[in-house]
Every structure is written in structure tokens, then in C-alpha cells.
Amino acid sequence: SQTIHQWPATLVQPVGSPLSLECTVEGTSNPNLYWYRQAAGRGLQLLFYSVGIGQISSEVPQNLSASRPQDRQFILSSKKLLLSDSGFYLCAWSYGGEQPQHFGDGTRLSIL
């Protein structure tokens, strides 16, 4: 069966510090991968998606970036965090664009 892992589960970082969140998927090959942010009391905002190694599409301009160094690994990064980067970050995978997405348990990021 397929599983998706995100870590860390919780992270507290100072403003201006770097960020690296990791997501890995097991039990499938060549999945579509997604990063979402869920701000407090708000819906999901798609940040990045990837249909293959090294292929990243960005949905919104921001100080975040994403990379896919391996088929089942998706990394969300920032060189300098802003207060507005606080939120709940979710990684997801799917077999294809129209297929249901399967979400990780999320990372709660607090910026101080």
C-alpha cells in the first residue's frame, strides 16, 4: 500500500531563518506531488506541484521554493522565513491530476 510521510510535524523558527520540509511517498512510482499551505481559519492554497523529477510548477509568487530530487521525494524550502509563512503545510500525492489526492499529516510551522 502507499504511504506518505511528512516531517517534522511541528516546527518553530525565527524570522529570517531557513526552512526545509521534507515529504516522501512509498509504494508508488512517478506520482504527482503537491505542497499546500493552510493558514489559520482559511482553506488550502496550492503552492507547488510536480509531475516528475526536477519538474516544479509554482502557483503563487512567494519566498518559498520546492525541489524534487528523487521520484518520491518533495522538499519545500525557504532561504529567509517571513512572519506570513506561518501555517499548516500539507504534502499530497496522486496518480494523476484527476485522481484523488492523498495527504500527509502536515507540518505546523510557527514563525517567531
Partner 1 sequence: GNSVTQMEGPVTLSEEAFLTINCTYTATGYPSLFWYVQYPGEGLQLLLKATKADDKGSNKGFEATYRKETTSFHLEKGSVQVSDSAVYFCALYNNNDMRFGAGTRLTVKP
The residues of the shown chain that bind partner 1, judged by CB under 8 A, are: 6, 34, 42-44, 46, 90, 92, 97-98, 100-106
Nearer to partner 1 by C-beta: 12 or 14?
A: 12
- Other C-beta atoms within 10 Å of 95: how many? 15
Q: How far is the CB of 79 from partner 1 (least distance, A)?
A: 26
Beta strands, E only, 1-112: 3-7, 10-13, 19-26, 32-38, 44-52, 55-58, 64-70, 73-78, 87-94, 102-103, 107-111
9/112 with CB nearer partner 1: 9
CB of 65 vs partner 1, minimal distance in Å: 20
**Least distance between partner 1 and beta carbon 102 (Å):** 7
Q: Which is nearer to partner 1, 5 or 79 (CB)?
A: 5
3-state secondary structure of 18: coil
Is residue 38 within 8 A of residue 25, CB to CB? The reply is no
